[in-house]
């Protein structure tokens, strides 16, 4: 019985450390990085360097997990006061601050080692820059000081496709930065609906999210603006010959849905619409990047 309790406790601790890495967020980052890797690879599966891609994914995942753990440490006090985050491991005392910092440091060191030894130095440098951007610049500075925090900090979340491209080719060409631009513009349109829905939480803990400082209607117009900009940016891969007709047809259909949800925030306000927009935005980016991959590997179309 004692051994059973011990195993249960150990599992709970492991689960808490896993939660520190924000696995759902990291999975989307890894997916966009993987898209960059595969778009940078030959269109024949047999010619793809799967070993490099495997190590690159491991290294990027480790760095993303480290950044998320640091985010948990820095935000532990406000997390404990917000309904959405009060059950996280640090506010719950499931893990100590020291334990979380050691965990983040180990993940960071392993990421640098894996990317430098098994991938290339450029990928390692860009990955660490992304980590510093999210955990240091966004979480430690911008989040608490400006309503433009998610815009300026969005660069860290937009960099994975560039990392993926660099991992495969050793450089970061224009095409990889086109993917960066799409995610960078998508980020405010994705996150601000959630901030509208959780506006009272952010106001209570003093985080100057846009809906708190400028109001819901103003933020809704900004969301529409970034949605339009995102849809326009998704035309660029087709315009520069990076993708073909299968992609652009899918992108435009998805774009109509994205604009529909953004317009509903303004012209049909409802307490549930922000979360509908938030949920659609995740599906939008996932399917859009999947369409890029499908287009890349379609032969003869």
Q: Determine the Cα–Cα distance for residues 60 and 54; give it in Å rounded to an integer.
A: 10
pLDDT at 10 over 80: no
Quote the pLDDT of residue 9.
53
* pLDDT 10s digits, 280-289: 999 999 999 9
Q: What is the pLDDT of residue 5?
A: 47
- Taking only the tens place, the pLDDT of each residue in 24-71 is 999 999 999 999 999 999 877 767 889 999 999 999 999 999 999 999
The CA distances from residue 163 to 48, 53, 126, 235, in Å, are 17, 11, 7, 22
- 63/68 Cα distance (integer angstroms): 9
What is the per-residue pLDDT across 128-174, written as a single tens digit (0 to 9) for each?
Answer: 999 999 998 998 888 999 999 999 888 999 999 999 999 999 999 99
Q: What is the mean pLDDT of the chain?
A: 92
Crossing angle of the two packed helices 2-20 and 97-114, in degrees rounded to 10: 60
Each residue of 208-256: pLDDT tens digit?
999 999 999 999 999 999 999 999 999 999 999 999 999 999 999 999 9
In angstroms, rounded to a whole number, what is the distance separating the alpha carbons of residues 190 and 180?
15
pLDDT of residue 299: 52
Matching residue, tokens 């893990």: 95
Q: How confident is the model at residue 2 (pLDDT cuts 50, 70, 90)?
A: very low
pLDDT at position 102, please? 97
The helix/strand/coil state of 209 is coil
């Amino acid at each position: 019985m004692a051994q059973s309790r011990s195993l249960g406790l150990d599992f709970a601790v492991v689960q808490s450390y896993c939660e520190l890495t924000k696995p759902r967020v990291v999975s989307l980052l890894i997916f966009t990085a993987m898209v960059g890797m595969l778009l940078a690879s030959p269109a024949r599966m047999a010619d793809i360097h799967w070993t490099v891609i495997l190590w690159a994914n491991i290294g990027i995942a480790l760095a993303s997990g480290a950044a998320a753990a640091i985010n948990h440490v820095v935000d532990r006090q406000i997390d404990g006061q917000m309904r959405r985050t009060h059950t996280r491991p640090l506010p719950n005392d499931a893990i100590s601050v020291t334990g979380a910092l050691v965990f983040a440091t180990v993940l960071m060191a392993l990421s640098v080692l894996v990317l430098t030894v098994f991938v290339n130095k450029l990928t390692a440098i860009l990955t660490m820059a992304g980590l510093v951007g999210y955990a240091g610049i966004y979480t430690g500075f911008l989040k608490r000081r400006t309503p433009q925090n998610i815009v300026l900090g969005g660069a860290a979340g937009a960099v994975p496709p560039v990392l993926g491209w660099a991992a495969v080719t050793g450089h970061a060409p224009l095409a990889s930065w086109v993917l960066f631009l799409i995610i960078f513009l998508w980020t405010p349109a994705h996150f601000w609906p959630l901030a509208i829905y959780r506006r009272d939480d952010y106001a209570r803990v003093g985080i100057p999210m846009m809906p708190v400082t400028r109001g819901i209607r103003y933020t809704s117009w900004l969301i529409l603006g970034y949605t339009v900009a995102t849809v326009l940016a998704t035309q660029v891969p087709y315009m520069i010959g990076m993708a073909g007709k299968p992609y652009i047809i899918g992108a435009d259909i998805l774009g109509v849905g994205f604009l529909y949800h953004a317009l509903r925030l303004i012209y049909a306000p409802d307490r549930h619409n922000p979360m509908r927009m938030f949920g659609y935005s995740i599906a939008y980016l996932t399917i859009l990047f999947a369409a890029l991959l499908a287009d890349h590997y379609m032969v003869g179309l």
